[in-house]
Structure 1
Amino acid sequence: MKSFTLKSLTVAIVSTVSFASAADTYNIETIETLNNYRSSIPQSINASGQIVGVARFPENVEIDFSRVPSRLLAQIGFDPEEDEELTIAQYQAIVENLGNYANSSLQTQRIGLNQAFIYKGSSSAVNAVPATADQLANSVDSFLYSINNANTAVGVTSAPYELIEHQYTNADDETATAEYFVSDFLSRGMWYNNGESSVVEPQAQDYLGGESAIFDINDSGLAAGYESVALSPAATTRIEESCEDPEVASASQPLEVCVWGIWRGLQNADASNIAAFNNSRYRYSRPRSGYNAGRSIYDIRGKLWQFDASGEVIDQVELPTLVERRSDDENDFSSYAYAINNNDIAVGQSWTYHPDRGAIRMPAIFQNQEAQPVTEDPIYLWGSATDINDSNIAVGHLTKRPAGTLRSYGFYYDVDASELTILDSFFNGASTVVRSINDNGEMVGTAEVDPTLSQVRARAGFYYDMSAEAPQIINLNNTISCDSEYNIVDANDITENGEIIATALKTEEYTDEEGETRTREILVNIKLDPIEGELNNCTDNEEPVERQGAAVGLGSLLGFGALGLLITGIRRRTFLKTKKS
């Protein structure tokens, strides 16, 4: 394997720690980004100030040029036989294209772009399934989504890839060999506390090892997530016909590679049935909604796991779907739990049926082993519940189509009273997603702030207090100095004391390989500590930020794409992706 040398890069970032002006309502604390990663996205903070999240884009991956598509090398102007050093732009292009969620080939190098971390005064990587000597380094994607007040964190990890040889008889009746990168499983929910970790095994592990994920854990150790429980009827038929039938299946592919191709196609499928143009008479028209259906070869069920102090599962409960799968529907039909409160009520999402649009994902409340809808109003075409507090107030988003365009609307739902409230946003039609709610009824999330009729709209993190005398959505950029170096684009979590962890864009200067000073925007993790003050009402000057569904901008910074190993509803404390959900 020929290694590369990345041309020297000097970066200067001026960080502001605990800075505030007289009128600000928050101090800003910067949370360091994990070493050798470009960006940082917070997910959850507990009462003691420990933070978990995801570091993004590794800066020092070793590239095997024999495993990089020749067309990509030609496109970026790099010849491994002639060139000794990659430029910064060339390295970025290679890593982005080989990232697990963008990379559709199992014959090229696989790179994990996401690294789970925990912050306790300094940031440390968390690896529940580290690569062995025989496996590909830097090929795992891992995420931590929640940390409780016992300092137990939960999340999800993929498996490391390893290279295998597959022998087959070619068309000339000769023995040939093909090489592929494969992994033991698609995903595993992970538990972590003080250096110790464990993973949860799903019921169904046919062909690809199955899927599981954990998104939240309450203070008694009860965790919420999902796991694969069976192959779907459609997947069973398709695998038999396309991968196991020797008359049809490609001899050059092992069975698991063929099945992986089916799974990946389902993961990236668009929810075209909720698109604005949807007329089955036009057979060759494929309207796109921009919302990722995030399907699977597996039927998946929401799951609650009771962990003991050492990370062992001592009890578990499977959560149902909102309705039963129809007899004429052979696709995967699933439920997902994304958050749980200390009353053991979970919230999330489930497939159900729209009267005119077929199968859709909608918010679900899981209580007493039953799934309850937040709404059955047919005006809504998609949605998810993302969090719930100990007063049994759930939050999330619902999608409808004003003026022919799909938009997400934030909501809160009183579980005890079965009462739904839609939040006002910055302007009519502004897509809004609530990420988190504390026990005081304070919510945070992200919303569009740019009313122009463009595909790319600026977004901002927001704060909303449902218990205020006159509740209103507040742009968090108006709560800090108008000349702050941070542009807050998402607010991910809020504590009982009103401390907020948020994701912000920040400009950094760097010296490129030619010695020129350049700038670029990166995502940073900040903590907002409330202080006495008033809103600054800064003039809106946000740069256009990638809204879900477009192809450039913030989505490129994140590189999330369609998160194949995760479900694609907007989950609790999950940041923007390049596909709507």
Structure 2
Amino acid sequence: MKKTILAASLLSVLSSTAFAATYQLTELPRHENSKNTFISDVNESGEVIGAASSLFNTAIDISYLDFESSELESLYSRYVSSLTSNEEATFTLEDIKNGAANTNADAHAFMIGALASYSGNADYQKINDRIGLIISANSADELTLFDIQATYADSLTRSVTNFPTAISDDGVIAAWGSSPYRQEVFTKEGEDDKTVFVRDWTSRGLVISPSGKRVTLEPGFDTYGGTSMVTDIVQLDSGNYIAVGSSSVSIPENSQESYDDNCDGIDELVSVCSWQLQRGSFYNTEAFQWELDNNLDVVGSQSLGLGIVREDDEKGAFNSLALATNKNGIAVGYSIVRNTDDDRIYAYEQAGYFKDGEFNRIHAHETYIQGGKAIDINNSDIVIGNYYEQGTSFNGQLVVRKQVGFYYDINSKTYEEIPAFFTGSKVTVRDINDKGQVVGQGEIEKNTSSPKYEAFLYEVGADKVTNINDLLPCRSEDGGEFPYTIAEATKITDSGFIYANATKTVERRDTLGQVMKDSDGDIEYEAVVVPVLLTPIAGGTIDECTPPEAEEYERQSASFGFLSFLALPLLWLRRRVS
């Protein structure tokens, strides 16, 4: 069996590998300046892209802030009131004004929370707590998309969204993100000048070659900035590439009316007004495809289709999105759809595939509270995805009452639900390889207020799924409890390697990256997300563990054909938007 480049490198250089019963688990490098490291996608050569969240030492710009404003004073008062009787505030707003957020972790955390609470207010600095990564055998290094150097600190602005989504077999990375925020001054007659934060556009697709060449995939319609996203990329046999995602194609009548009525530049900058409107469904967006030559120059682009035809009285935004594509040129994703029986528009998106300029629904729904997304497609034209049913909780909040995985064979037109850990378990599928092996995550306990999810492995046509944690050892090499729980499997290669996001307990760190201690001076601990590689072990056998009493399902040895051959894998979105 062929080993991926990363797998071979890790097995030769890392000593922290844990040997599993049927899979050997290797923890991949984590990003050093954040709590959580995730895997987004992996190619057959083992080149890994991912993301990190909960960054340490995010720079705070205090130069524009009025520390006597009612907003900040109110937030600080609420912070003080939240402290327990044996706690005291370690900072004041005056301390932050004098730079305390750079050295006092409590002050830094307070400011991060304050800015998050004002994310919809253009008067405050914008911070996005997620960066892209390239994960090698030795390190997890930041992949910068559109961010720039900050003027107030020796760092990037950290004001952009960053979503590396896919990597082709020859190492071309697809991603999407936003433009950085910048400060502008708004002058209104009779009032003091005010600093506001604005940006040029909400989203752009980007492809990056192994040599570092960057090509922005521009939207088909860019009035007021426009938007484009790229979610997947494949290299064709010709050497060209197909990238898919979505693009703005027009502005619906309702959005244009809102812009014309409000964005006059009198009470606020036009750019601020436009930004506020674009935080909602401002554009008509459609699933989109870009074709690039072997030098990554765009040689063509086109809309892939929409599952609805607009009627004269429909003035709102319509959308579709492609989430993945294969070498046969078939893309999968979702679209807004109309029920042909009574001409009503479904409340939620419908799963389907895009072929020859048309959107094809995969599975007809019975009610208007059902929706779905097609997540991935292999080169045999087998699609995987999820269907869900929305509902309303007792307090009026929208909740997902049901979510099941499915696979669909385009050639035979057959649709099947993927089994779950138990009846009613909410399932999210992530990836399918060309052998028909599927990985994802599923809910493992019934009737709990805080659902728990673990990764599964499935083969198309089988009657059950396998919890990937059941294929790992019960104990670590030193005899202690096995330190990893595989929460989500994001990729399974054709060679059988599983790449996943696992939870692991580590020393707890504050927002400045300092190890935290309790009142007795003892180190505190917390669970974080770490990237892992699972390598099949020829001749391995399942380690028979005594399952916890709380488990609702039994550990079972797998009976799938491919497992016998090997002798016995978040909204968020593997490389997928969700």
TM-score by length of 1: 0.79
1:484 is displaced (CA, Å) by 1.8
Which amino acid is the alignment partner of residue 52 of structure 2? A
Which amino acid is the alignment partner of residue 427 of structure 1? F
Number of corresponding residues: 492
Could you report, residue by residue, the CA deviation over 1:102-128 in whole angstroms, capped at 9, with x for unpaired residues? Answer: 711221111121111112323222223
1:104-183 alignment to 2 at 5 Å? 104-121=120-137, 122-132=139-149, 137-169=157-189, 174-183=190-199
2:386 matches 1:397: yes
| Aligned position for 1:330 | 315
Q: In 2, are the aligned partners of 1:402 and 1:429 still within 8 Å (CA)? A: no
2:276 matches 1:261: yes
Q: In structure 2, which of residues 227, 232, 236 is the aligned counterpart of residue 211 of structure 1?
A: 227
Could you report, residue by residue, the CA deviation over 1:535-563 in whole angstroms, capped at 9, with x for unpaired residues? Answer: 446525899xxxxxxxxxxxxxxxx8xxx
Q: 2-side partners of 1:90 and 1:531: how far apart?
A: 49
1:58-457 alignment to 2 at 5 Å? 58-65=55-62, 67=65, 70=72, 71-76=74-79, 77=89, 78-82=91-95, 84=100, 87-88=104-105, 90-99=107-116, 103-121=119-137, 122-132=139-149, 137-169=157-189, 174-194=190-210, 195-207=212-224, 209-220=225-236, 221-244=241-264, 251-264=266-279, 266=280, 296-354=281-339, 358-379=346-367, 381-400=370-389, 406-452=401-447, 454-457=448-451
1:333 is displaced (CA, Å) by 0.4
Q: 2-side partners of 1:429 and 1:298: how far apart?
A: 36
Which amino acid is the alignment partner of residue 373 of structure 2? S
Q: Structure 1 residues 401, 138: CA separation in 2 closer, same or farther (over 3 Å shift)? A: closer
1:350 is displaced (CA, Å) by 0.5
1:217 is displaced (CA, Å) by 0.7
Which amino acid is the alignment partner of residue 325 of structure 1? R
Q: 1-side partners of 2:536 and 2:377: how far apart?
A: 22
Q: Structure 1 residues 473, 517: CA separation in 2 closer, same or farther (over 3 Å shift)? A: same
| Aligned position for 2:541 | 534
Match of 1:176, SS state, is coil
Q: Structure 1 residues 403, 74: CA separation in 2 closer, same or farther (over 3 Å shift)? A: closer
Q: In 2, are the aligned partners of 1:146 and 1:215 still within 8 Å (CA)? A: yes
Q: Structure 1 residues 536, 74: CA separation in 2 closer, same or farther (over 3 Å shift)? A: farther
Which amino acid is the alignment partner of residue 124 of structure 2? T
1:148 is displaced (CA, Å) by 1.1
1:252 is displaced (CA, Å) by 3.4
Q: In 1, are the aligned partners of 2:289 and 2:302 still within 8 Å (CA)? A: yes
Q: In 1, are the aligned partners of 2:29 and 2:136 still within 8 Å (CA)? A: no
Q: Structure 1 residues 211, 256: CA separation in 2 closer, same or farther (over 3 Å shift)? A: same
Which amino acid is the alignment partner of residue 286 of structure 2? R
Match of 2:223, SS state, is coil
1:339 is displaced (CA, Å) by 0.3
Could you report, residue by residue, the CA deviation over 1:175-197 in whole angstroms, capped at 9, with x for unpaired residues? Answer: 53221111111111110122222
Quick one: percent identity of the two aligned structures? 26
Q: Structure 1 residues 394, 377: CA separation in 2 closer, same or farther (over 3 Å shift)? A: same
1:57 is displaced (CA, Å) by 2.0
Q: 1-side partners of 2:325 and 2:549: how far apart?
A: 37
Which amino acid is the alignment partner of residue 369 of structure 1? G
| Aligned position for 2:487 | 489
Q: Structure 1 residues 327, 408: CA separation in 2 closer, same or farther (over 3 Å shift)? A: farther
| Aligned position for 2:460 | 466
TM-score by length of 2: 0.79
Q: 2-side partners of 1:472 and 1:18: how far apart?
A: 29
Q: 1-side partners of 2:119 and 2:269: how far apart?
A: 18
Q: 2-side partners of 1:315 and 1:541: how far apart?
A: 58
Match of 1:226, SS state, is strand
Which amino acid is the alignment partner of residue 391 of structure 1? S
Match of 2:256, SS state, is helix
| Aligned position for 1:551 | none
Match of 2:268, SS state, is coil
Match of 1:261, SS state, is helix
1:260 is displaced (CA, Å) by 2.1
Q: Which runs of 5+ in 2 are unaligned?
A: 1-13, 80-88, 394-399, 475-480, 509-514, 552-569
Q: Structure 1 residues 97, 231: CA separation in 2 closer, same or farther (over 3 Å shift)? A: farther
Q: In 1, are the aligned partners of 2:406 and 2:418 still within 8 Å (CA)? A: yes
Match of 1:241, SS state, is helix
| Aligned position for 2:562 | none
Could you report, residue by residue, the CA deviation over 1:158-191 in whole angstroms, capped at 9, with x for unpaired residues? Answer: 111110001112xxxx253221111111111110
Could you report, residue by residue, the CA deviation over 1:358-407 in whole angstroms, capped at 9, with x for unpaired residues? Answer: 44201120112211000123247111001000010000101136999621
Q: Structure 1 residues 460, 96: CA separation in 2 closer, same or farther (over 3 Å shift)? A: farther
2:516 matches 1:512: yes
Could you report, residue by residue, the CA deviation over 1:252-290 in whole angstroms, capped at 9, with x for unpaired residues? Answer: 3112212322332x2xxxxxxxxxxxxxxxxxxxxxxxx
Q: Structure 1 residues 154, 401: CA separation in 2 closer, same or farther (over 3 Å shift)? A: closer
Q: In 2, are the aligned partners of 1:166 and 1:252 still within 8 Å (CA)? A: no
Q: 2-side partners of 1:475 and 1:102: how far apart?
A: 41
1:357 is displaced (CA, Å) by 6.9
Q: 2-side partners of 1:223 and 1:217: how far apart?
A: 4
RMSD, matched Cα: 2.7
Q: 2-side partners of 1:197 and 1:416: how far apart?
A: 36
Q: Structure 1 residues 58, 111: CA separation in 2 closer, same or farther (over 3 Å shift)? A: same
Q: 2-side partners of 1:262 and 1:480: how far apart?
A: 49
Q: Which runs of 5+ in 1 are unaligned?
A: 1-14, 267-295, 544-559, 561-567, 576-580
Which amino acid is the alignment partner of residue 528 of structure 1? L
